[in-house]
């Protein structure tokens, strides 16, 4: 895709579509005339999104999907394939554990966060990439985070998952280059956004036991991210990067300073201090 104007009539699949960046992407894609297949783990939020999009004349199909489950992502891919070839896939679903020392994280914490954030992207790529390679056309956009440019304490699982997404995306793009495929991978690195990420535990499966944030912690985290840009603003930046053919898309230019400090640290063997420590009380 060389320009956003070419979105008209293209088929885009968005996971984690019902809130935050996902909802912003759906709004902007719909404005440009794309047809949408939207996936989320929250049915009511998904229905609300679809109603909003349809009121604006957007062609949209909803699919309730837990991206941590490969069979559900395969079902999503099959439904999308029945509509038409997928031009754009946004692997966007993401969650975060409650801020806490890494030693307090349970196996369920790790399985839940990595299952959604990392394996959700692995599942999406595995399910959609083969058809794109066969057509020699398509773009996959993987949502990481500015947490992949530098790290903070007390969210070890979330941070590890976002670093892994960048490495996975780079590896897949190298494979595509080696096979001389025109399919593209993009990794988005959004900074502070006004989203419901702080309340990720609302979607935590009952079987995935673990500590949920207290009301006080949730208030602190929500207040912090409420000052971020909107999902639609972030979506505009991401889509502009896709249009330019960028591989890395950073929504907040100041985050590049964090990356610079990190790599300067690598050169000297020293860990740079975190830019914005997580508030834990």
Which residues are identified as catalytic? 158
**CA distance linking residue 64 with residue 137, whole number of Å:** 26
Phi then psi for 138, rounded to 5 degrees?
140, 160
Relative to beta strand 139-143, strand 88-91 is: parallel
| Structure-token pair, residue 13 | 């699949």
Strands across the sheet containing 139-143? 60-64, 35-40, 11-14, 88-91, 139-143, 184-189, 248-250
| Structure-token pair, residue 196 | 């419901």
Is-contact 151 194, C-beta < 8 A?
no
Which residues contact residue 196 at a Cβ distance below 8 angstroms, ignoring those fewer than 6 apart? Answer: 19, 20, 202
Residue 276's CB is within 10 A of a number of other CB atoms, namely 12
Tell me which residue of 183, 150, 182 sits closest to 166, measured CA to CA. Answer: 150
Which residues contact residue 259 at a Cβ distance below 8 angstroms, ignoring those fewer than 6 apart? Answer: 149, 150
């Amino acid at each position: 895709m060389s320009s956003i104007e070419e979105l008209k009539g293209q088929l885009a699949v968005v996971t984690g579509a019902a809130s935050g960046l996902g909802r912003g992407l759906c709004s902007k894609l719909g404005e440009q005339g794309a047809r949408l297949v939207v996936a989320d783990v929250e049915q009511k939020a998904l229905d609300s999104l679809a109603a909003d999009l349809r009121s604006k004349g957007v062609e949209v199909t909803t699919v309730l999907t837990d991206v941590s489950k490969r069979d559900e992502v395969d079902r999503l891919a099959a439904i999308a394939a029945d509509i038409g070839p997928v031009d754009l896939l946004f692997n966007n679903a993401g969650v975060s554990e409650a801020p806490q020392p890494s030693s307090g994280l349970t196996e369920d914490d790790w399985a839940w966060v990595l299952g959604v954030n990392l394996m959700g992207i692995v599942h999406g790529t595995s399910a959609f990439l083969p058809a794109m390679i066969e057509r020699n056309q398509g773009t996959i956009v993987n949502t990481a985070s500015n947490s992949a440019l530098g790290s903070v304490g007390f969210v070890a699982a979330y941070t590890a998952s976002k670093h892994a997404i960048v490495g996975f995306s780079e590896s897949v793009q190298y494979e595509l280059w080696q096979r001389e495929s025109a399919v593209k991978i993009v990794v988005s690195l959004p900074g502070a956004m006004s989203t419901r990420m702080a309340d990720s535990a609302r979607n935590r499966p009952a079987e995935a036991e673990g500590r949920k944030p207290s009301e006080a912690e949730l208030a602190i985290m929500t207040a912090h991210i409420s000052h971020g840009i909107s999902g639609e603003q972030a979506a505009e930046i991401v889509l502009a990067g896709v249009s330019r053919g960028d591989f890395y898309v950073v929504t907040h230019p100041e985050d590049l300073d964090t990356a610079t400090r990190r790599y300067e640290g690598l050169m000297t063997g020293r860990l740079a201090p975190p830019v914005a420590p997580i508030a834990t009380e």
